[in-house]
Amino acid sequence: LAAGAQPSEPSQTPSASPYSPETLEFEVEDISSVEAVELLLTQIEIVEAENSSFAPELGELSYDLGIQFDQLGLHEDALEAFLRADQNMKIREGLYSPNREALIQKIFEQHIALNDWESAEIALDSNAWLRARNVDANSLAYVEVLQDLVRWNLARDHYGVEEEESRSLVRAYSDLEDIFAIYDAQGLPLDDLTLDLAMTVNHMLSLDVLVLDSVQGRAGTAALDRTYFRQARAAMTACQSLYAEDLEVKQRCANSAERQIRQDLPEAIFVDYSSGQFDQGLSFYSRSYFRGKDILLTQIEILRETDQDARTLEALMKLGDWYLLFGYQRNAEEVYAAAWEYAQNVGLGDSIHMQAPQAISTAGLIESLPKLDVGNRSGEAQVAVTIAKNGEIERIEYLDIDIADEEAIAELSASLAASRYRPILRHGVPIAAVAYTVSKQVSY
């Protein structure tokens, strides 16, 4: 690949069929899913009667049957159909056929829909193993499956399905290191998705454990206290906007949101640095900020050397975002100003001037993560938020909502209050955004 070329990022659209459409006697797109299922089942019976259970046509028919069952929400039936198609593919093309990747991806998706996280992870690992058999695991072609593994572990951490705290994040970072090694060997900058994943994983690690100097005592937790009270106030505004006429419900909402915020704060661990004794395991968390900053600085340096102006500008903006996430407001403003000057020099000033706020860290990736949620109901909320120039949420107002569960609303309010955004930049200077509208979907 030429400098700056990127591997394809994990697709957000349904996988293409690994089969050719030659054996189908009808177009499933032209009829309803129910009719398609009936026709496919009939055709499967005919093929089995005329040939055998291992006839090549059965693989394609089973795959298309799985697609139709999936669209109908019949995930157990879809899973069975995809597993049969995969078995047929293994017989036809062998265990290591690259065409199996699309089938295993569908199997993975059905396990997700059935809330079977263990089987989903097995399917994901199987695809990684299959890709490694077919390409060099040190090549750019292997990056995509590593990204999928990182996103999976981020989802496990975000949705709280991991029994051992931080284990998923540690595994995610291990996969990221493999990606870093691939790009380093190629002398190329990271692709944009990997950069976002690296920033998110390091930020989330910093939010799990906060290592403080015991000599500072209570002063070391002051920042945590400020974070808690700020987020609690913002969540309160959300509850007030929705339950203004019902004081009891409003207070219950606020109390539930506060508990969620308190629960999500990092665990504070005090260490006596002066003693010279320090648990090296803790340094993995305490160095999250520095790792993220070093990754961004290296990215900017490589991009500048290869004259990739647009990507260099975005990396500079992400460095400013990084400082914001860790409370270094002055550093962030200096970097945003430098990014504005750079943008002006390369003719890209319009691309960042008065740009709409952008969610950063996990908030910017949630929609692309596997949805590991066991809720059987879902809803959507239209929300207006006030974003301060430091990217923090100051006020939340529900504009429209179809979520009929108080606890779900409280959790959403807490999540919104903890969100961070890249602020609007006017000539490179951060300014507040009032009543910025966002849409959130939740399962409960």
**For residue range 158-207, what is the model confidence (pLDDT) as tens digits?**
888 877 778 999 999 999 999 999 999 999 999 999 999 999 999 999 99
Q: What angle do CA 13, 361, 350 make, to 5 degrees?
A: 80
pLDDT of the residue at 218: 64
pLDDT of the residue at 365: 87
Query: pLDDT tens digits, residue range 202-221?
Result: 999 999 888 887 766 666 68
Q: Residue type for 326, please?
A: F
Location of structure tokens 């007030």: 240
Residues 130, 104 contacting (CB under 8 angstroms): yes
First to last CA, the chain: 45
The DSSP-derived string for 219-262 is GGGHHHHHHHHHHHHHHHHHHHHHSTT-HHHHHHHHHHHHHHHH
Among 10-19, 114-123, 142-151, 423-432, the least confident range:
10-19
**Reduced 3-state DSSP string for 95-155:** CCCCCHHHHHHHHHHHHHHCCCHHHHHHHHHHHHHHHHHHCCCCCHHHHHHHHHHHHHHHH
Query: pLDDT tens digits, residue range 68-87?
Result: 999 999 999 999 999 999 99
The pTM of the whole model exceeds 0.85: yes
Q: Return the bridge partners of 271, or none.
A: 213
pLDDT of the residue at 213: 76
Look at 165 and 324; give whichever has higher pLDDT. 324
Q: Return the bridge partners of 387, or none.
A: 393, 433
Q: What angle do CA 200, 339, 224 make, to 5 degrees?
A: 40
Q: What is the mean pLDDT of residues 136-163?
A: 92
Residue 280 pLDDT greater than 80, yes or no: no
Residues 443, 345 contacting (CB under 8 angstroms): no
Query: pLDDT tens digits, residue range 393-412?
Result: 999 999 999 998 999 999 99
Location of structure tokens 């809803």: 379
